[in-house]
Amino acid sequence: MTERVTIIGGGSWGTALARLVASNNHQVLIYLRDQIVRDYINQEHINYKYFPEYDLPTNVRATTDLEEGIDFASIIILAIPTQQTREIMQKISIYLKRDQVICSTAKGFEEESFLRNSEVISENCRLATAVLSGPTHAEEVMEGLPTAVVVASKDLKLAQRIQDLMMTSYFRVYTNPDLVGVEVGGAVKNVIAVASGITDGLGYGDNTRATLITRGLHEMSRLGAYLGGQLLTFAGLTGMGDLVVTCNSMHSRNRRFGIKIGRGIPLKQALESVNQVVEGVKTTSAIYQWFQQRDYGFQLPITTEIYQVLFREKNPYQAVEDLMLRGPKHEFEEVVQEISKKGM
């Protein structure tokens, strides 16, 4: 079945998804605001701002008319940052049709509300919604390197529809009904990637990064399970998979930003130098502000220290030392408690 797909967002990820979906012979329309980029895509079949070296298929077009973009689509893919989701949903809600579906690709929490992207979407429309997540760099997807992702939805048929839309010989798509877990994993990994970059900027090594990834996974799982996610989800592509890629790769804007912070560059200047949205900054703030509301029965030490470094000018060296010198813990408190209950 040939789909008509509108991708809202003409950045690196939106462009990579457009090329991917079009390679499966679907009709793709990219909505963006830059008229020059629009004309280049329509006339020269390239996005000169992000991937001037890659041709886009002729079944990819672009528009700066939001109503045209929504009217075109059977599937709407949001390839915009989390903090723009509410604004764009409010704009498109008057154009949406009952038989359309939405797939979100952003990874974060809305800063003011601590809502996941699917929750923001559902506040503005009643369309079936899916979420795409996993270890993906747009640069490698454009290059056609083997990649695996997960699509989550409460509607299994919708998840399978997105799976069919995107599956290729180099882009493997799994489904997962755990919408909460997939979204939490995608969001928290950005915070840990910033932390990884900071430790790199400080000159620390592989041991430190491995510790961050492992304990970051634990922190992600604690938060995700509390919010209703399934623990097994965090061992998958949206959890461990995304942590590995974003904490190790220079394609990761969160890690690149963190490196600059670790080297002593101020927050505003570091953000400007990356020249792309760094989701981990707002996500750190969203999680921390939510976590301060009451005692949830668990700790988020990495997120807490990263917040202090980013927003309270705490010395990164001191933050690492404070993490290392926290009171002694069992690696898995739950395991110890369970063994104690059994009298073993």
Averages of pLDDT over each 10 residues, the chain, 344 residues: 95 97 98 97 97 97 98 98 96 96 97 96 96 97 97 97 98 98 97 96 95 95 96 96 96 96 96 93 97 94 97 95 77 52 57
pLDDT of residue 339: 46
Largest Cα separation within the chain, whole Å, is: 73
Structure tokens at 102: 């939405």
Crossing angle, helix 85-92 and helix 117-124, to 10 degrees?
20
Catalytic residues: 189
**CA separation for the pair 47, 60 (Å, rounded):** 11
**CA separation for the pair 201, 124 (Å, rounded):** 41
CATH 3.40.50.720 domain locations along the chain? 4-177
- The residues, any chain, with a CB within 8 Å of residue 87's CB and separated by 6 or more, are none
Helix (H), strand (E), coil (C) string for 79-133: CCCHHHHHHHHHHHCCCCCCCCEEEECCCCECCCCCCEHHHHHHHHCCCCEEEEE
Pairing of strands 75-78, 4-8: parallel
CB 179 within 8 A of CB 156: no
Strand, coil or helix: 296: coil
Question: Burial of 205 by CB count in 10 Å (0-12 exposed, 13-18 middle, 19+ buried)?
Answer: exposed
- The residues, any chain, with a CB within 8 Å of residue 264's CB and separated by 6 or more, are none
- Give the number of other CB atoms < 10 A from CB of residue 325: 7
Structure tokens at 322: 């404070």
CATH 1.10.1040.10 domain locations along the chain? 180-333
Amino acid at 255: R
pLDDT of residue 279: 95
**CA separation for the pair 287, 187 (Å, rounded):** 10
pLDDT of residue 329: 66
**CA separation for the pair 330, 262 (Å, rounded):** 29
Amino acid at 320: V
Q: Given 3.30.1600.10, 3.40.50.720, 3.40.50.300, 3.40.190.10, which CATH number is that of 4-177? A: 3.40.50.720
Task: Please give the full DSSP string across 17-58, using - where no structure is assigned.
Answer: HHHHHHTTT-EEEEE-S-HHHHHHHHHHS-BTTTBTTSPPPT
pLDDT of residue 276: 87
Pairing of strands 147-152, 129-133: antiparallel
Amino acid at 146: P
pLDDT of residue 328: 67
Tell the residue number behind the tokens 């301060």, with chain if given: 292
Crossing angle, helix 179-201 and helix 117-124, to 10 degrees?
130
- CATH node for 180-333: 1.10.1040.10
